[in-house]
Amino acid sequence: MPAHAGRSKRWKIENETFNTLKNQGDHFEHNFGHGKQYLSTVLKHLMMLAFLIDQIQQRCCRLFEAALTAAKSKTRLWRKLRNRFDLCLIQSREVLYRSILHPPQIPLWLDTS
């Protein structure tokens, strides 16, 4: 196999990963500067780590798969997860995903005054 064939395969994998990070809600954009104390480099590494954890979670966690099935789309699942973090103190990932599978019934009253 020629040397350039392996290189182009690696580039294809890298480009697909970066396109996923850029176009599917992770807001991963190219930054031409590294800023003070290499902050954009640190941010890039944190985003790549979050992407890796997300991929492992999607492949290995049955509770995540069940929550995704219940939410019917990743966009709705992420919205539900963000809402939970805005409204609740989350004790664990298990509690978080179970709250999507079995949402708590919170009574809301109409203000008739």
pLDDT digits (tens, 9 = 90+) for 3-14: 555 555 556 656
**Pair of tokens at residue 49:** 């780590």
pLDDT value at 47 more than 70: yes
Domain that holds residue 97: 61-104
Instruction: Check whether 92 has a pLDDT greater than 80.
Output: yes
Q: Which amino acid is at 29?
A: E
Residue 21 has pLDDT above 60, yes or no: yes
Task: Kindly state whether residues 39 and 20 are assigned to the same domain.
Answer: yes
* Residues 56, 98 within the same domain: no
Q: How many angstroms from the chain centroid is the CA of residue 95? A: 18
Looking at the structure, tell me whether residues 66 and 100 fall in a common domain: yes
pTM for this one? Answer: 0.54
* Rounded Cα–Cα distance for residues 27 and 35 (Å): 18
* CA geometry: angle 50, 53, 54, nearest 5 deg: 85
Whether 110 is covered by a domain: the verdict is: no
CA dist 57 and 94 (Å) reads: 12
So what's the pLDDT on residue 13? 58
Helices (H), the chain: 3-23, 39-60, 62-71, 74-87, 93-101
Q: Is the Cβ–Cβ distance between 58 and 78 less than 8 Å?
A: no
Q: Of 109, 26, 36, which Cα lies nearest the Cα of 74?
A: 26
Residue 42 maps to a domain: yes
**Same-domain pairing of 40 and 2:** yes
Considering the domain architecture, whether residues 19 and 42 belong to the same structural domain is answered as yes
Q: What's residue 79's pLDDT?
A: 92
